[in-house]
Chains A and B, each alone.
Chain A
């Protein structure tokens, strides 16, 4: 059970440039946070910091759980579900194979049921190379729910999706947070979910 994610005096330096500093923010379980700001302001970098890929130049990221606080990057990553701006869809593997792989890799998801829920069942036998950009996003979203992680990190989740796809993202994120999860999304458009907004531009 996670209780909250606290960003404490976080700074991000990429190359020689300071993207943001003095970032303090806290997201409670059940909340959605939308990261905003123009390109290059550090939205993706912040998501990668929270996932534990990138070490912050200063500050601490603290994940409060019912079993105690987690500050170590690698442990935090094991609670994070990643939805990057790249789809991670393999052209040679069938839709069914890709979902079954992540279900086994992450533990105990039900790939068949998830495929039904995301309308991917008719595409199950199709290799990834024949999917449209929107279908790949749908597959990535299905994969995210399959991972069963409490902390969702979404980078441009609405890109390449049609109206029904956007509604699906909004419903999925809302359902995740209603179950006590946290979702943090970097986005240029309104998510369509009840959420807090953090604009990184003011911290530059």
Chain B
């Protein structure tokens, strides 16, 4: 347990210090979410209807920005060898890294979205649903992204391939996430939130195993 929390705190520390990418993801999210209403115009009815979708897409892209370095930074400087030989299994290592990424990126993105929702004129009754959907859904982004990060860790410029692998797998999160917000807007219960929760649970449970497999394969290369 102590080893797992050691890795978790170290990764969070690396993410929030200079060059770690957590702040970059937040700034990117804010920039995209601010530009979208400017491009679409002042039609508040339209804006509030697309808020869920735009914010969800922006959040996923922002989270992906820092994901490619999840294993790669440690791989390039030799740290990953040392972490792999530690008492932790690679599955535990992957889980700790997913958790650290979510705590340093997914969670702040979720909180920031409450502020950005105002730019879209999202009604107050739908904002908690947006926040809740991001809170439940962004762990899946970190988890599925870790699989892509593990597969591309030895690829130069893997950051460009990563979205191609990961984005199709994240389509359900975007669909159910924005669907839940849409449901709250129209006052209908459409079950999207529960599907999102199920998807997220599945992703967080299975991804560490897939990511560990990818890391193991790349360390042998």
**A105→B88 contact, CB < 8 A:** yes
Report the interface size class on chain B.
Answer: 20 to 34
Given A93-B14, A104-B2, A106-B87, check contact A84 B19 (CB 8 Å).
no
Contacts of B186 in A (CB 8 A): none
Known A-B contacts A87-B78, A107-B3; A51 and B13 likewise in contact (beta carbons under 8 Å): no
Complex alpha-carbon distance, A49 and B77, angstroms: 19
Known contacts A88-B81, A104-B3; is A93 also within 8 Å of B87 by CB?
no
B79 at the interface (CB under 8 A from A): yes
User: By the criterion of a CB under 8 Å from any partner CB, how many residues of chain A are at the interface?
Assistant: 30
**Does A78 sit at the interface, judged by CB under 8 A?**
yes
Are A105 and B220 touching (Cβ within 8 A)?
no
Question: Is A170's CB within 8 Å of the partner chain B?
Answer: no
Q: Which residues of B contact A149 (CB under 8 A)?
A: 85
Tell me, in angstroms, the Cα distance from A86 to B83 when the chains sit together. 14
Q: How far is the CA of A77 from the CA of B20 in the complex (A)?
A: 29
A53 interfacial by beta-carbon distance below 8 Å: yes
CB distance from B174 to the nearest CB of A (A): 32
Q: Please tell me if the beta carbons of B14 and A53 are within 8 angstroms of each other in the complex.
A: no
What separation, in Å, do the CA atoms of A48 and B19 have in the docked complex? 30
Within the assembled complex, what's the spacing in Å between the Cα atoms of A82 and B81? 8
Provide the residues of chain B in CB contact with A89, threshold 8 Å.
77
Tell me if A80 counts as interface (CB < 8 A to partner B): yes
- 0 or 1 for each of B1-34: is its CB under 8 Å from A? (1 = yes): 0110111001001100111100000000000000
Q: Which of B6, B18, B83, B86 contacts A92 (CB 8 A)?
A: B18
Given A53-B219, A105-B83; A92-B3 close (CB under 8 Å)? no
User: Could you tell me if B220 and A55 are in contact, using CB atoms closer than 8 angstroms?
Assistant: yes
Expressed in whole angstroms, the Cα–Cα distance for A106 and B88 within the complex equals 9
| Given known contacts A54-B220, A78-B85, A88 and B78 CB-to-CB distance under 8 angstroms | yes
* A201 beta carbon closer than 8 Å to chain B: no
